[in-house]
């Protein structure tokens, strides 16, 4: 097993979750997942073991997501091909979630955020990166991360209160 194969087996689950959080559509998330691994494979020689592979991989993913010239990964609503797909999604919601309506409202509000705000919320609350790690992943100052988190929380709160 090559190092890259080991990385794929170690980080695919976490990358899948990140892609699903960034993209509102499961098909877009699959595309982002594939594009991220392709880019990581193409640039594996630039990876430095001085940094975490997971952080490096997530940086690639977030950069692909935020730099997408078209809204390829930026859908704002959940799209399902059929009722079976929707049912599978609803069944994938963790049991500790208070209720499905709240979960879907939060997911919809999150997907409506601008990319730059959605990325910091997901990395901070869902992937549990520190603000300094997020700054490194996004290539922005830590103060900007704090500002975007604050703005994103206000936007989410406003959106959820209106819904």
Give pLDDT, residue 21.
83
Give the CATH number, domain containing residue 77: 1.20.140.160
pTM to 2 decimals?
0.59
Range of the domain at 15: 3-162
The b-or-e profile of 36-75 (16+ CB within 10 A means b, else e) is bbeebeeeeeebeeeeebbebbbbbbbbbbbebeeeebbe
* pLDDT single digits (tens) 35-70: 999 999 988 888 888 888 999 999 999 889 888 744
Number of structural domains in the chain: 1
């Amino acid at each position: 097993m090559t190092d890259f194969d080991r990385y794929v087996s170690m980080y695919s689950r976490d990358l899948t979750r990140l892609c699903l959080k960034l993209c509102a559509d499961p098909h877009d998330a699959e595309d982002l997942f594939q594009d991220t691994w392709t880019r990581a494979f193409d640039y594996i020689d630039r990876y430095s073991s001085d940094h975490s592979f997971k952080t490096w991989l997530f940086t690639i993913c977030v950069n692909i997501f935020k730099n997408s010239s078209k809204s390829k990964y930026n859908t704002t609503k959940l799209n399902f091909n059929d009722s079976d797909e929707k049912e599978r999604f609803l069944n994938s919601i963790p049991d500790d979630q208070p209720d499905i309506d709240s979960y879907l409202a939060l997911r919809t509000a999150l997907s409506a955020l601008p990319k730059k705000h959605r990325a910091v919320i997901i990395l901070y609350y869902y992937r549990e990166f520190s603000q300094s790690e997020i700054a490194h992943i996004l290539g922005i100052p830590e103060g900007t991360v704090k500002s975007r988190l604050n703005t994103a929380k206000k936007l989410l709160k406003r959106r959820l209160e209106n819904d």
